[in-house]
């Protein structure tokens, strides 16, 4: 339910009937759409937080996104400040500068109304839906690898000067409430019986009880949370799952960076890889007959490998060409002829990002199956036994990744582990206490 009166600052949620009247005088919208008398408005938001309208006119279309003063997924019982639109806009601007062409262009914003008007991306669809439908996107790995390499490197203190970086760190430190959501929903709630959690029950009850009783696991998850909360390595997208990516056969755009905050690079990388791996585990729930999607499964695993390989290659190139920030100054390395030491430093740095990514990948899989915010490709599997079987395998991979992230040499190890779990399955109520990976 939306509020019907403005708040003290004049904020008032839009609806399909009022939008043309309220935004009809906005020059950027008129320029894009034409005469407001002919605007067609549809509310299409299917995310967890905001209103999203597609507005089409005689001359074109645009998207209007507006924050609600509460969490849409839960309702007014969970109030949420409106300032997330401000942080999303700032993050989008930085991403557009750091990785041109991969994010929607902003046409207009209004902080009092907490709204942003952006490009309408068409014929793009949400990647999550496309992966569930079994569609291949040949450029996806390269596009997302470049997006992550460029935004994460250029947003870090490898690239930024100290004054700009500290100012930016201070700005995004204000995105407290969304950061708090991540800290709770990703790193805490899945590991105990938090009120808003849900999971496929009773099929997963035994496994979930064992997972929540795994004290080593909880310690390692909190180590990962300490990294998220304290390691301000770069400006993260902060919610880089397959619902935050829109695709065509050839194009890729990244949307929705409202959770942007300074944190460890591995958080974005791990969350994305987790969502690819969950799509892989979910295929059994979407194929027409067993094995029908085997070629697609192979593509998804290749996507995992190519995304990391492309990210690492892009990162190494930027290390060579754009490392003019605070850390690892060329004055100490290249300028002294110490090129091998610089390469070693880069390899060490990337190794740290990889180990973090493996851990965050595991945590993301847990929270999407045990926490509040689930993902459609698993939730939509109507056969609950089949769904639970897919979910249990993803949970088990997540557990092993968190516990054994240091021993993961690269994506090939993660893929081999996923394939082993897929082959042998995870018996109901079994797995979380046996075969500790540490
Ligand atoms: C209450 S918000 C739940 C989740 O939705 C967003 O997309 C983020 O992933 C967040 O954790
Ligand atoms: Mg979102």
| pLDDT tens digits, 324-362 | 999 999 999 999 999 999 999 999 999 999 999 999 999
| Separation of alpha carbons 91 and 86, rounded Å | 9
Q: What is the per-residue pLDDT across 404-415, written as a single tens digit (0 to 9) for each?
A: 999 999 999 999
DSSP, collapsed to helix, strand or coil, labels residue 224 as: helix
pLDDT at 438: 35
The answer on pLDDT for 435 being more than 80 is no
Report the residue among 373, 376, 379 best suited for mutation to probe ligand 1: largest number of ligand atoms under 8 A from its CB: 373
The answer on pLDDT for 156 being more than 50 is yes
| Separation of alpha carbons 273 and 308, rounded Å | 8
Q: What is the per-residue pLDDT across 211-240, written as a single tens digit (0 to 9) for each?
A: 999 999 999 999 999 999 999 999 999 999
Share of the chain above pLDDT 70, in %: 96
Write the CB contacts of 403 (distance below 8 Å, at least 6 apart in sequence). 216, 217, 220, 436, 437, 438
Question: Which residues, in sequence order, are bridge partners of residue 363?
Answer: none
pLDDT at 360: 99
Q: What is the per-residue pLDDT across 233-255, written as a single tens digit (0 to 9) for each?
A: 999 999 999 999 999 999 999 99
Q: Which atom of ligand 1 is nearest to the CA of 367?
A: 11
pLDDT at 430: 54
Q: Within 10 Å of residue 38's Cβ, how many Cβ atoms? A: 12
DSSP structural state of residue 407: G
How far, in Å, is the centroid of ligand 1 from the Cα of 48?
Answer: 6
Q: Which atom of ligand 1 is nearest to the CA of 71?
A: 1
| Separation of alpha carbons 25 and 7, rounded Å | 22
pLDDT at 428: 76
Q: Where are the beta strands (DSSP E) in 266-358?
A: none
Which residues are within 5 Å of ligand 2 (an ion), measured at CB? 47, 256
How far, in Å, is the centroid of ligand 2 from the Cα of 220?
Answer: 26
| Separation of alpha carbons 105 and 120, rounded Å | 9
How far, in Å, is the centroid of ligand 1 from the Cα of 324?
Answer: 35
Instruction: Report the candidate in 141, 156, 211 with the shortest Cα–Cα distance to residue 352.
Output: 156
Look at ligand 1, atom 7, and give the residue with the nearest C-alpha: 48
Q: Are 293 and 283 in contact (CB under 8 A)?
A: yes
Confidence of residue 5 (pLDDT cuts 50, 70, 90): low
The answer on pLDDT for 313 being more than 80 is yes
User: Is the pLDDT higher at 205 or at 9?
Assistant: 205
Look at ligand 1, atom 3, and give the residue with the nearest C-alpha: 373
Q: Is 231 exposed, middle or buried (0-12, 13-18, 19+ CB in 10 A)?
A: middle
Ligand with smallest separation from the Cα of 126: 2
Write the CB contacts of 158 (distance below 8 Å, at least 6 apart in sequence). 318, 319, 322, 323, 325, 326, 327, 328
pLDDT at 437: 41
Q: Which atom of ligand 1 is nearest to the CA of 243?
A: 7
Q: Which atom of ligand 1 is nearest to the CA of 74?
A: 1
Instruction: Report the candidate in 170, 167, 151 with the shortest Cα–Cα distance to residue 159.
Output: 151
Look at ligand 1, atom 2, and give the residue with the nearest C-alpha: 48
pLDDT at 3: 38
Look at ligand 1, atom 8, and give the residue with the nearest C-alpha: 239
Q: Are 300 and 131 in contact (CB under 8 A)?
A: yes
How far, in Å, is the centroid of ligand 1 from the Cα of 292?
Answer: 32
Q: Which atom of ligand 1 is nearest to the CA of 73?
A: 1
Task: Determine the average pLDDT of the residues in 276-284.
Answer: 97
How far, in Å, is the centroid of ligand 2 from the Cα of 210?
Answer: 31
Report the residue among 78, 239, 274 best suited for mutation to probe ligand 1: largest number of ligand atoms under 8 A from its CB: 239
How far, in Å, is the centroid of ligand 1 from the Cα of 147?
Answer: 21
Share of the chain above pLDDT 90, in %: 94
Q: Which atom of ligand 1 is nearest to the CA of 48?
A: 5
How far, in Å, is the centroid of ligand 2 from the Cα of 261?
Answer: 14
pLDDT at 427: 78
pLDDT at 429: 67
Q: Are 328 and 348 in contact (CB under 8 A)?
A: no
Look at ligand 1, atom 9, and give the residue with the nearest C-alpha: 239
Question: Which residues, in sequence order, are bridge partners of residue 71?
Answer: 75
How far, in Å, is the centroid of ligand 1 from the Cα of 429?
Answer: 28
Task: Determine the average pLDDT of the residues in 167-173.
Answer: 98
Residues having CB closer than 6 A to ligand 1 are 47-49, 71, 73, 181-182, 185, 239, 373
Residue with tokens 């003063």: 69
Task: State the number of CA atoms in the 13 A half-sphere of 241 facing the CB.
Answer: 25
How far, in Å, is the centroid of ligand 1 from the Cα of 184?
Answer: 11
Confidence of residue 9 (pLDDT cuts 50, 70, 90): confident
């Amino acid at each position: 339910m939306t509020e019907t009166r403005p708040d003290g600052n004049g904020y008032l949620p839009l609806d399909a009937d009022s939008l043309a009247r309220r935004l009809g005088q906005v020059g950027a919208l008129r320029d894009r759409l034409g005469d407001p008398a002919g605007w067609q408005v549809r509310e299409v938001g299917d995310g967890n937080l905001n209103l999203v309208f597609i507005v089409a006119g005689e001359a074109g279309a645009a998207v209007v996104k507006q924050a609600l003063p509460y969490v849409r997924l839960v309702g007014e019982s969970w109030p949420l400040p409106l300032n997330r639109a401000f942080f999303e806009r700032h993050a989008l601007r930085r991403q557009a500068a750091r990785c041109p062409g991969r994010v929607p262009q902003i046409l207009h914003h209004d902080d009092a109304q907490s709204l942003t008007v952006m490009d309408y991306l068409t014929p793009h669809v949400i990647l999550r839906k496309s992966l569930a439908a079994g569609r291949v996107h040949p450029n996806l790995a390269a596009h997302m690898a470049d997006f992550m390499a460029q935004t994460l490197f250029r947003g870090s203190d490898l690239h930024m000067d100290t004054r700009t970086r500290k100012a930016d760190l201070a700005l995004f430190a204000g995105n407290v409430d969304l950061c708090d959501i991540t800290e709770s929903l990703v790193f805490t709630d899945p590991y105990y019986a938090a009120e808003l959690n849900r999971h496929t029950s009773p099929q997963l009850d035994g496994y979930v009880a064992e997972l929540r009783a795994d004290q080593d696991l909880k310690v390692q998850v909190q180590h990962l949370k300490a990294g998220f909360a304290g390691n301000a390595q770069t400006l993260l997208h902060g919610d880089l799952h397959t619902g935050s990516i829109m695709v065509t056969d050839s194009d890729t755009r990244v949307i929705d960076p409202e959770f942007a905050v300074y944190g460890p690079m591995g958080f974005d990388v791990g969350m994305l890889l987790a969502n690819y791996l969950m799509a892989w585990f979910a295929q059994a729930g979407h194929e027409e007959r067993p094995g029908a999607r085997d070629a697609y499964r192979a593509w998804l695993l290749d996507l995992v490998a190519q995304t990391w390989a492309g990210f690492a290659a892009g990162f190494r190139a930027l290390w060579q060409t754009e490392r003019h920030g605070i850390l690892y100054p060329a004055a100490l390395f290249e300028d002294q002829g110490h090129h091998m030491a610089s390469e070693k430093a880069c390899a060490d740095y990337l190794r740290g990002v990889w180990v973090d990514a493996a851990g965050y990948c595991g945590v993301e899989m847990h929270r999407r199956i045990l926490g509040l915010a689930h993902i459609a490709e698993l939730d939509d599997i109507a056969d609950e036994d089949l769904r639970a079987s897919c979910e249990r395998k993803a949970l088990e991979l997540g557990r092993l990744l968190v516990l054994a992230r240091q021993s993961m040499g690269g994506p090939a190890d993660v893929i081999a582990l996923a394939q082993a779990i897929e082959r042998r399955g995870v018996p109901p109520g079994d797995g979380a206490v046996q075969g500790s990976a540490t």
